[in-house]
Homo-oligomer: A and B are copies of this chain.
Amino acid sequence: MKRIAFLTSGGDSPGMNAAIRAVVRCGIAEGMEVYGVHRGYEGLLAGDFVRMYRSDVGDILHRGGTILKTARSRHFMEPGGAAKAIEVMGTLGIEGLVVMGGDGSMRGACTLVEAGFPVMFLPCTIDNDLAYTDYTIGFDTAVNTVLDAISKIRDTSSAHERVTIVEVMGRESGDIALYAGMAGGAEIVLTPERKPMLSYVYNKVLAGLNRGKLHSIIINAEGSGIASDALEADIESHTGKETRTVVLSYLQRGGSPSAQDRILATFCGAKAIELLKNGEKGCAIGQKDGKIFAMDLFEAAACTKEPDMSLYELIEVLSM
């Protein structure tokens, strides 16, 4: 394989630049010409490609975001989108593609592979909502960012003896809430996988008050189905305790990637080059049982994850 391209798509995640660096440098080390595509699938259709050299990816390893820019694909998923993209790549002599993104980007990658174009997929999303891999690139950084926010919020929450609801990202997956809740010592964690009744929440706050606990942190994932403002009002009305909400929002997307995310991104990027070199047609790369691995892209897209309830139980015990 002489000429490859890569793109970042969908929501950005910390570690995308580390993956870009690995793809470019490992690709060149294998004698490939490597092209970056701007703005994800949009750029793929528009032919917005740029040749990249080793020095183009210097000093980006520690940066959040993506130097290639990213975008939600508008036209690519429409009929003929994949064919158009393959035609564009054909005219440039591109023989393989590396796609970095989340579940939407993964579906895009599938359409290209279905149409016969080799694609390697790297799991880049803070949400950790790709079932085929234990961890996605950006997740560890996002959890640490939430922890940093929790520690700041704890100062003022404790000084005012109030309940604070921290709303974190996670529409489909509650992993950010769950990991940050366990690592941050949250009393209660609300996620899409586990939506306790409101009565559970305020009763737990009341129980804490009766034990002399003067402040509590509650982590609420976007996708928990319980609106933070409703939760806030409900807790105040049932416990008489001042309650405030902080929505971390896009804060969670940025920041310098953690060591773990940089290393995961670097290994995944290197693996993508190795697989393209070996003539693989369509793979998803990730981490399973502590090891970097690759599997068939379509099988990966079909995976579903069983939530691990033992974490919720442990949080229960620890916050009793």
Contacts and interface: CB of A to CB of B under 8 A. Distances in A.
Interface of A: 8, 11-12, 14, 16, 18, 21-22, 25-26, 29, 54-55, 59, 61-66, 69-71, 134, 140, 143-145, 147, 149, 151-161, 164, 179-180, 182-185, 212, 214, 244-247, 249-251, 253-256, 258-260, 262-263, 266-267, 270, 287-291, 314, 317-318, 320
Given A70-B159, A152-B255, 4 more contacts: A153-B254, A155-B254, A156-B254, A267-B314
A48 to B, nearest CB: 13
Which residue of A18, A59, A182 has the most chain B CB atoms within 10 A of its CB atom?
A182
Nearest to A262: B183
Contacts of A253: 152, 155-156
A30 to B, nearest CB: 9
B318 A22 contact: yes
Which residue of A26, A66, A159, A255 has the most chain B CB atoms within 10 A of its CB atom?
A159
A29 B8 CA distance: 37
**Count of identical protomers in the assembly:** 4
A287 to B, nearest CB: 8
